[in-house]
A and B are shown apart, each in its own frame.
Chain A
Amino acid sequence: MSAPAPSSVSSELAARLATIVGEARVLARAGELRSYESDGLPGYQLRPALAVFPGTREETIDVVRALADSGTPFVARGAGTGLSGGSLADGTVLLGLHRLRRIISIDGDNQRAVVEPGVVNASLTRAAAPFGLHYAPDPSSQTACTIGGNVAENAGGPHCLKYGVTLNHILALTVLLPSGEIVALGNGAGEDEGYDLLGAFIGSEGCFGVVLDVTVHLARNPSAVRTLLADFTSVNAAAHAVSAIIASGIVAAALEMMDAPSIQAVEASIYAAGYPMDAAAILLIELDGATAGIDDDVAQVVAACRAEGAREVRVATDPADRARLWQGRKKAFGAMGRISSHLVVQDAVVPRTRLPEVLAQIQQIGERHGVRVCNVFHAGDGNIHPNIGYNASDAGESARVHAAMSEIMAACIAAGGTITGEHGVGLDKLAYMDALFTPATLGAMCALRDVFDPMHRANPGKVVPVHSCREWHGAASSRAARESR
């Protein structure tokens, strides 16, 4: 029962939306919509029929109800920093939520905050700082991305290794279903009972509804932090050091790897962090917690790196030094953007013990297709981000990049991994869903989507391939027909 996507939005609907949010907050001209044709992954460009930007909770509710009344599909969007093409609207309505940026309350005693979906990730942490608290999930785009987008994608980040992903930090949501109904999920003041619809909603990539407010858990700032930079002459040695650290039982706050091309791109940019230019790979390792015992853990990690052949391990305790080491990592994709006109960033996860072998395979795949693969990633989670800079106007090069990426994904699946650890499926990973999941599993996902959005109006065509849902609905109705006989 998918609603057909209208090729355009009726003038009546456009006028109704304008009365809700004001003329200036409804964009319909091609030139105005250009900024909304892509997200952080420039390989996809799709133009919405119209973009609407409510400024308050009430306006958002009225807009979604107007869309429901007219049966119009829509795509919610935060800051548009996503890396899966998930927030692109193809001839439908784009619902921008970045103006809903009120921090409603911060309860320092109970380590929680209630925020609107358009609040920028890093601003929440800034607002929590006077309480000695921070919001733990820290995607690399944290200075721009919104909490609403983080909830939709179940966003991660370097520090998720120790602190967990978005799912582990959300206590409650108020959700506006695509039908316009409002529902409270989770419990911001105690335990929750019944089906974990909060958990099901987080990471649903805008297919289940729109978030009106988010109750988050805030983590206490650690009293001691150490950031280590370990320098290796081979990627393989660095990957083995990762395994050794994990096996030691020390839970690093973050454990990141960058390979030579990534290091060189960063060091040639304004984000230069002082990484060794001749290293084949570096590990950026952060340990945090109580002051007592932390230096014993540092010593153990340093020893593990040296045992795997690290040339040097630098330990930074000064906040300015630590920030500089991190800047290079967090801005790595930006630094690579200087080198090529387009950059495709992949996101996959493999079992941590398989990292050395999968990284070697990725290297070979890149060589075979004549593309240069760089690796900057969350090694401690086995969450890799192979990325390739290229020129999208060169059709031959684009085809080679695409072929290499498909092989890399196949290698990750074959190693027992998954096709996305934190960027989401969106449009970009749709083609891999059949390789990863059985038809029955995809059918169950379709059934779950139907619960929240039976008309498939919210972010249509994303996450689960449309054909799986058709097959599922086909099978379910033939089953029903068989049983009714």
Chain B
Amino acid sequence: MSDTRSESVAARVREARETRTALRIIGAGQWLHAGAPCTAERALGLRDDGGVVAYEPGDLVLTVRAGTSLAEIDRVTRAEGQWLALDPHGTNDGTIGATIATASAGPLASAFGTPRDHVLGCTVVTGAGDVVQAGGRVVKNVAGFDLVRLVTGAWGTLGIITEVTVRLRAVPQRELTLVAAISTDGELEAAWRWVRASEVAPMAAELVSPRLATRLGMGATQALVLRFGGNAALVDAGVRSAATLGRCTDVDMRVWSGLRASEPADGFVARASCLPSEVVPLWRAVASEAERAGGFAHATLGRGVVRCVVPLDEATTNASNGAAGEAPARFAGMIRGTIDAPPRTTWIVERGVGRDWPTPPHDAARRALSARVRAAFDPDDILNPGILIT
């Protein structure tokens, strides 16, 4: 099957390779400050390379060009009672290609997983200018080595994703969103226990800090936002179970898109993660720090992931230490381990403004493997150079 659009991307890559011109791969261009600073000279935009390639609703599988927006995917699939259960941060104008390339996930990941769990196949143009068909269009596939997982989350540094096949799900028969105010430490502990043990597992359970709750119109206290889906009996049971958390309020489903879009275009964004059993102390340390720095935080409790957001003004003003991706000073300290965060915390900086980015805590052998992967797939270092520190 000839794919002339991917071939034309390949021609541009080969041309860039000949002239040793580094390329900045751009989807909708919403997140240009995400990732570590990129030194590319020329932009290669994929936003116009969108559209559905194949959609057979009975297979719950969709193939689209990488420039297709999440909004378009939502429109096409909902018309068939289906959806792509991914809710990455940002707006629905973002492209599927960028979502896969950055492996961005939101609150739904606790029930449905991250992009690596949704992608069945993709077409990729490597830094050598080869068009590679990774994976396939069926829901189960172990034919050959797993190039799909390799490029998912590689931030475009191993290849430019031009086409994507994803697994879809049927839209739940019923959906409902509830908010429970979490005012005391006791309530926080109870909320955490409920999320870990509830017989009816919500599709999402996100803890939000007071400033974020205010922005989302849910009052000015820390709150747990729960999303239930399933048949009527299951959703009703979820609502009854959540009532043990205290007073719960029904809210509009749009609170979830509000949460996704809550982040400023520029700012410092980092995720701290730990074992789920340790997430409450991590939350206490990190959320209060984010609020103090003028930002906010939210946590996917079941996954043990806390996301901290500090708008650019506050971040730069507070960044007197100038470190770790220009985090506010105390975050930079936590990331470097010089200021007490709970032990065994993994920090991933998504966005920042400076050049001093934290290095992932990988052993030397893994760093060497990563360097060899990069050299094999982008021998001249022309794809998004610098954006991903491995």
* Contact surface of A with B, Cβ cutoff 8 Å: 107, 109-111, 153-154, 156, 160, 164-165, 167-168, 177, 181-185, 187, 189-200, 202-204, 207, 223, 243, 246-251, 289-293, 296-297, 349-353, 378, 381-383, 416-425, 429, 433, 436-438, 440-445, 447-452, 463-464, 476, 479
Contacts and interface: CB of A to CB of B under 8 A. Distances in A.
Nearest to A198: B149
B237 A440 contact: no
Contact of B370 (A195, A291, A349, A436): A195
A190 B136 contact: no
B145 A352 contact: no
A408 to B, nearest CB: 15
A451 B144 contact: no
Interface in B122-156: 126, 128, 130-134, 136-150, 152-154
B369 interface: yes
A126 B130 CA distance: 47
B230 to A, nearest CB: 6
Interface stretch (B41-49, B272-280, B330-338): B272-280
A197 B274 CA distance: 20
A203 B140 CA distance: 12
Nearest to A208: B145
B149 A293 contact: no
A459 B231 CA distance: 48
B377 A191 contact: no
Contact of B275 (A154, A189, A193): A189
A451 B369 contact: yes
Nearest to A165: B140
A-B interface, 10 closest residue pairs, ranked by CB to CB distance from nearest: A249-B170, A199-B149, A292-B237, A293-B234, A190-B346, A190-B273, A293-B233, A183-B365, A421-B140, A353-B58
Contact of B60 (A153, A184, A246, A476): A246
Given A187-B346, A199-B152, A156 B58 contact: no
A422 B133 CA distance: 19
B305 interface: yes
Given A194-B388, A195-B158, A444-B377, A290 B144 contact: no
Contacts of B128: 476, 479
Interface string B280-299: 00000000000000000000
Given A193-B346, A196-B153, 19 more contacts: A109-B276, A168-B113, A181-B365, A190-B344, A191-B271, A191-B303, A194-B362, A195-B154, A197-B150, A223-B199, A249-B170, A293-B234, A416-B138, A420-B142, A420-B143, A421-B142, A433-B143, A436-B136, A437-B133
A201 to B, nearest CB: 8
Given A195-B390, A293-B231, A293-B232, A421 B141 contact: yes
B150 A352 contact: no
Nearest to B80: A247
A454 B60 CA distance: 39
A243 B153 contact: no
Given A184-B366, A351-B138, A441 B132 contact: yes
Nearest to B237: A292
B152 A290 contact: no
Contact of B134 (A109, A223, A250, A441): A441
B157 to A, nearest CB: 8
B365 A182 contact: yes
Given A196-B149, A247-B57, A441 B133 contact: yes
B76 interface: no
A419 B172 CA distance: 32
A429 B230 CA distance: 40
Contact of B365 (A177, A246, A378, A423): A177
A289 B235 CA distance: 13
B145 A445 contact: yes
Nearest to A479: B128
B173 interface: yes
Contact of B360 (A194, A202, A425): A194
15 contacts: A164-B117, A190-B273, A192-B346, A194-B388, A195-B153, A200-B149, A251-B169, A297-B231, A352-B59, A420-B141, A421-B142, A429-B143, A448-B145, A451-B373, A479-B128
A249 B200 contact: no
Contacts of B196: 109
A249 B81 contact: yes
Nearest to A248: B170
B150 A200 contact: yes
A463 B144 contact: yes
B305 A191 contact: yes
B252 interface: no
Contacts, number: 252
Interface string B354-390: 0000001011011001101110110000000000111
B231 A349 contact: no
Given A249-B170, A463-B145, A296 B360 contact: no
Given A248-B170, A382-B140, A194 B152 contact: no
Contact of B113 (A160, A164, A251): A164
Contacts of B231: 293, 296-297
A10 B350 CA distance: 53
Interface string B199-233: 11100000000000000000000000000001111
Contact of A350 (B138, B170, B346, B372): B138
Interface string B93-133: 00000000001000000000100110000000010101111
Contacts of A425: 142-144
B138 to A, nearest CB: 4
B388 A464 contact: no
A386 B382 CA distance: 46
A130 to B, nearest CB: 16
Nearest to A417: B138
Contacts of A189: 274-275, 344, 346
A436 B143 contact: yes
A165 B167 CA distance: 14
Given A421-B141, A440-B132, A110 B277 contact: yes
B180 interface: no
Contacts of A194: 360, 362, 366, 370, 388-390
A419 to B, nearest CB: 5
A476 B127 CA distance: 13
A185 B113 CA distance: 19
A463 B145 CA distance: 8
A197 B305 CA distance: 21
Contact of B140 (A160, A197, A448, A451): A160
A291 B199 contact: yes
User: Looking at A181, A437, A444, A450, which has the most chain B CB atoms within 10 Å of its CB?
Assistant: A444
A352 to B, nearest CB: 5
B27 interface: no
B56 interface: yes
A191 B146 contact: no
Interface string B232-273: 111111100000000000000000000000000000000101
Nearest to B234: A293
A442 B133 CA distance: 9
B304 interface: yes
A155 B377 CA distance: 27
A118 to B, nearest CB: 21
B345 interface: yes
Contact of A154 (B130, B142, B232, B362): B142
B6 to A, nearest CB: 11
B278 to A, nearest CB: 8
Interface in B157-191: 158, 169-173
A465 B390 CA distance: 31
Contacts of A296: 231-233
Nearest to A416: B137
A451 B375 CA distance: 9
Given A154-B142, A383-B140, A110 B275 contact: yes
